[in-house]
Amino acid sequence: MSNRTKSKSRRGVVAVEFAVVAPVLLSITFAMIELNRSYESQNLLATAAREGARFASMDRDGMLGQGEDANAKLVSDVKTFLESNGLPRDSITVEVKDAEYPETDFDIEDPANDLRLFEVRVSIDYSEVSHMAVDPANDYAMSASVFFRNGRATISD
């Protein structure tokens, strides 16, 4: 058999090999993109919860708008941070709960709550984060929380 005949008979082999390998490579590529997106979103939720709780521990004089309370500012700031990082604001849930009584809301401005622990919970459905369609039966909430002490540290110059 000549070299010319041999190369003609091998042309079909390359096409078959590509047809077998391409779907696997594409699946791995899309899986890595999706895994990266979920990891990044989970990290953003944890950072937002931590920064929201940190706000509660700061001296808030001059930081609140007219008629705004600290809890509303905390929720708004967390949602704004996540929205600026590409998450849909209306799908984000932010809760400020009492550490001792996890189902009870916690008022960070109440003097009776000074030096008490509270929890900031941030969550969003995975379907709102994913680049791919998610079956509602398989959807789940991604969440992060942080416990913090309600103490106001003054900012020094």
What average pLDDT score do residues 35-57 get? 91
Report the domain count for the chain.
1
Query: Does some domain include residue 69?
Result: yes
CB atoms within 10 A of CB 54: 14
Q: Is residue 137 part of a domain?
A: yes
Q: Domain for residue 56, yes or no?
A: yes
- What stretch of H or E contains 111? none
Tokens of 109: 């401005």
Token readout for 4 is: 């010319």
pLDDT band at 154 (very low <50, low <70, confident <90, very high): low
Question: What is the per-residue pLDDT across 26-45, written as a single tens digit (0 to 9) for each?
Answer: 999 999 999 999 999 999 99
Full residue range of the structural domain in which residue 93 is found: 3-149
**Which tens digits make up the pLDDT trace of 62-108?**
777 788 888 998 999 999 999 999 999 999 999 999 999 999 999 99
Q: Which amino acid is it at 81?
A: F
Report if residue 154 sits inside a domain. no
Query: What would the mean pLDDT of 123-143 be, rounded to a whole number?
Result: 88
Q: Residue 155 domain-assigned?
A: no
For residue 48, pLDDT beyond 90: yes
Q: Secondary structure of 48-90 in the HEC alphabet? A: HHHHHHHHHCECCCCCCCCCCCHHHHHHHHHHHHHHHCCCCHH
- Give domain status of residue 76, yes or no: yes
Q: What separation in angstroms does the CA of 63 have from each of 53, 73, 130, 157?
A: 15, 9, 34, 16
Is residue 157 assigned to a domain? no
